[in-house]
Amino acid sequence: MNQLKRRPRGAFFIIIPFLLLLGAQVILYGNFFQTLNADTQVINELSRIRGSIQRYTKLELSQARVKAIPVESEIDRLIAHNMELPLTKRLTGESRYYDLDSLNIKWNELKSLVEIYHDDPSQKHQLSVVSKSEECWIVADSYVVRQQYIVNQTATYYKYFTVTFGINLFVIVLILALYKRFVLNSIASSAINDSLTQIFNKGYFDQFLEHEIARAARKRTAFSLIMLDIDHFKRVNDTYGHRQGDYALKALADVVRKCKRNADVLARFGGEEFIVLLPDTALSEAVLLAERIRESVEAFPFEEIGRMTISLGVTEFSQDDNKESILTRVDSALYLAKENGRNRCEVIRKGGENA
């Protein structure tokens, strides 16, 4: 059982690279959404600057000649806000794609031309203001377009990135599913099953017997054991070889498996010894099953070998039994069956009494 607990750790070594990649993707996703949010704010600010410059110009050139101080202050604030940031953070780190100083210079030039226009509202100065306003708009608009391009390119990249993220997640799930199906199930099976007959092995049976003894003692119920052994099995190996001997063991396990009930636990206990635990079963019922097994084995045509027989011992659990006492008793019943001529079933009750 300890081995069974240790081996599944191998699954983690299989998926560690995928888990690391998945973790990196999650981090990148977080950075992406932070950048996307910041870039959206930049686009909004640049769009506001672009529109405000046009509104400022219209207000300054209007016949009412109302000086657009609130608009001018807003534009100054937006430009200054980004210019005062460190170079690495200015416009959320994307300042390498455009020069905000250029926009600031043209904006200051526009304000100077507006002042000149107010002093001399001639058509020449009006055209100068309009021309400089267009230059400011073009510069601001180019920044907006570039920033939108960056966002679109980033979004396109993350579309492909999302596909790889999904594939990576699918691969992890697939590996775990395959590991559970083929590796863990194989490990679990090999830990509790006999490799030759594919029925339970002695180690698993010992644990199950201890559990059943505790349950029967707690609930004050009965269970029975049947131990069986192939008669003259050494003669089978010597005559037909170990290959046929292995076949005989597997065939015998199949015969017993078909005779027992679903709730009964069949295990290979030793070389040619098998044992059956019958939960909630009285001795009389166990004897009937033992006889049915004996008759089925005797009637079964083993390939090349022909007929084989078995000897069986049967006993019933008593409330003061432990694992050693009940196994000793059923083994003694089996030994008695062999002593009394083989191909028979013998019963020993608690206290050593024969049935």
Tens-digit pLDDT profile for residues 316-347: 999 999 999 999 999 999 999 999 999 999 99
pLDDT digits (tens, 9 = 90+) for 267-296: 999 889 999 999 999 999 999 999 999 999
Domain limits, the chain:
2-186, 202-347
CB within 8 A of 245, min separation 6: which ones?
233, 236, 237
Task: Identify the helix (H) or strand (E) that includes residue 228.
Answer: strand 223-230
d(CA 89, CA 37) in angstroms, rounded, equals 14
Residue ranges of alpha helices (H) inside the chain are: 2-6, 10-61, 69-83, 100-119, 123-178, 185-192, 202-219, 233-240, 242-259, 283-299, 323-339
Average the pLDDT over 191-205 and give the result: 90
pTM of the model: 0.54
Residue 114 binned pLDDT confidence (cut-offs 50, 70, 90): confident
Dihedral sign computed on CA atoms, order 281, 286, 292, 296: positive
H-helix or E-strand containing 278? strand 273-279
Q: Which class would CATH give 202-347?
A: alpha beta
In total, the chain counts a number of residues equal to 355
DSSP code of residue 310: E
Residue with tokens 């509790």: 192
Say which amino acid occupies 332: S
* Residues recognised as catalytic: 272
